[in-house]
Amino acid sequence: MRLSQYFLPTLKENPSEAQIVSHRLMLRAGMIRQSSAGIYSWLPLGFRVLANIQRIVEAEQDAIGCQQMLMPTIQPADLWRESDRYDAYGPEMLRIKDRHERDMLYGPTNEEQITDIFRATVKSYRDLPKLLYHVQWKFRDEVRPRFGIMRGREFLMKDAYSFDLDYAGARMSYNKMFVCYLRTFEKLGLKAIPMAADTGPIGGDLSHEFLILAETGESQVFCHRRLLDFKLPETTPTDAKGLQALVDQWTSVYAASDDKHDPVKGNALGTDLVTARGIEVGHIFYFGTKYSKPMKAMVSGPEGGEVTPEMGSYGIGVSRLAGAIIEASHDDAGIIWPESVTPFRVGLINLKSGDSECDAACEDIYRALAGRGVTVLHDDRDQRAGVKFADMDLIGLPWQVVVGPRGVKSGVVEIKNRRSGERQELNRESALARVAGG
């Protein structure tokens, strides 16, 4: 992509409304733009990141056999009356009347809707277990939306739902998703810490939230040092016992965010206590028959009679992750994207746009990288070098390739790694190989 043609409205100044670094950097990097309080448009650069995050989240859901579907944003209020959540949900629910004065709402979550689909279509224990998910926009009418897309009103969420015949099955689904979440955050280049959590308005008995560590995170995190060194095995065990053992490992040591922190337990860890800051990016719940029972979602059981399936739900904040990743990975100059989610892998800086040799060298490098499947943003603008360097650091692509008249004459280009800051002068071939990776 040529930057001269790309819709990338970067800002030089820090926008005054942005209180946290991810909000500031997303606005400055031309990733998002506010439409109204807590509601944002994703401009092309931001959209690429959002789509990359979504793709990774989907791939990991698919990998555990969770089947993708898509439920609508607008739900009938009657469904929520069945679970008694319509009145309970409070003013955060965006309530709507359609032209026939029917009560509708913009879904903040989908437990009722998936249970309604399940009860209408699944009739036998033979069809269990079922693990279903979708990635859809949600709305929570926050009283004071802030922090950009980190605490917006309209947000993109991956929510999955499990249906099992009994507790053992439900626990298996919960454990599958627990490990899937750890792997998803790892693929996103993040260190995630699972913590026992309150269940809040979703309800249920067992719940974990996943916080990623970020110096500028919203919550205080307390955990045992060992948790930071836990590694996932190459392949996830598929048997119940192996899976449970893996979950047990990750939940065997102390971890709590500030609202649940027990100073006595924390202090008992002595020098093994790590205190850090974190951001919640995922939350999983086992809630048994909380929805299936009042909504009469029953299947015929293996010994005749009817069984009410045990359910769980599993959320990842997809749009929130774009901000969370920035909170976890930035410096004074701007964003530092992990390779897995970066909007482009390489920023190609032409120091003298309009100079025929520099232009030709850039075109050549662009084509060579594109030919290797590498995404490149080519800064071909008629701008000073300083502006180009600053913008490229701001938008945070992992690699920069700098082409100038002197280098072109001596047959070298400069490459810079955005994260380490390391610069190297290399010949064309070595530079291409280095930034293309592999």
- Binding residues for its own copies, rule: CB under 8 A, are 5-7, 9, 30, 33, 35-36, 39-44, 46-48, 50-51, 65, 67-76, 91-92, 94, 96, 98-99, 102, 104, 106, 113, 116-117, 120-122, 130, 132, 134, 137, 139, 141, 143, 153-154
Minimum separation from the CB atom of position 251 to its own copies (A): 28
Minimum separation from the CB atom of position 43 to its own copies (A): 5
What's the full length of the chain, in residues?
A: 438
Q: For its own copies, which is the closer residue by CB, 96 or 240? A: 96
Q: How far apart are CA 181 and CA 426, in angstroms?
A: 40
**DSSP SS3 for 244:** helix
Q: How far apart are CA 140 and CA 403, in angstroms?
A: 47
User: DSSP state, 146?
Assistant: B
Which residues does 218 contact at the CB level (< 8 Å), separation at least 6?
147, 150, 277, 278, 279, 280
**DSSP SS3 for 281:** strand
Q: For its own copies, which is the closer residue by CB, 69 or 168? A: 69
Q: For its own copies, which is the closer residue by CB, 33 or 265? A: 33
Q: For its own copies, which is the closer residue by CB, 132 or 246? A: 132
Minimum separation from the CB atom of position 263 to its own copies (A): 37
Q: For its own copies, which is the closer residue by CB, 169 or 278? A: 169
CA–centroid distance for 389 within its chain: 28
Minimum separation from the CB atom of position 20 to its own copies (A): 20
User: DSSP state, 309?
Assistant: P
Minimum separation from the CB atom of position 407 to its own copies (A): 27
Minimum separation from the CB atom of position 353 to its own copies (A): 13
Q: Give Rg (Cα) of the chain.
A: 24
Q: Based on the number of CB atoms within 10 Å of its own CB, is 143 exposed (0-12), middle (13-18) or buried (19 or more)?
A: exposed
Residue type for 387, please?
V
Minimum separation from the CB atom of position 377 to its own copies (A): 12
Q: For its own copies, which is the closer residue by CB, 70 or 264? A: 70
Integer angstrom CA distances of residue 90 from 85, 149, 227: 9, 22, 37
Residue type for 337, please?
W
Q: For its own copies, which is the closer residue by CB, 69 or 196? A: 69
Minimum separation from the CB atom of position 292 to its own copies (A): 16
Q: For its own copies, which is the closer residue by CB, 166 or 186? A: 166
Q: How far apart are CA 104 and CA 256, in angstroms?
A: 37
The neighbouring-strand residues paired with 317 are 157
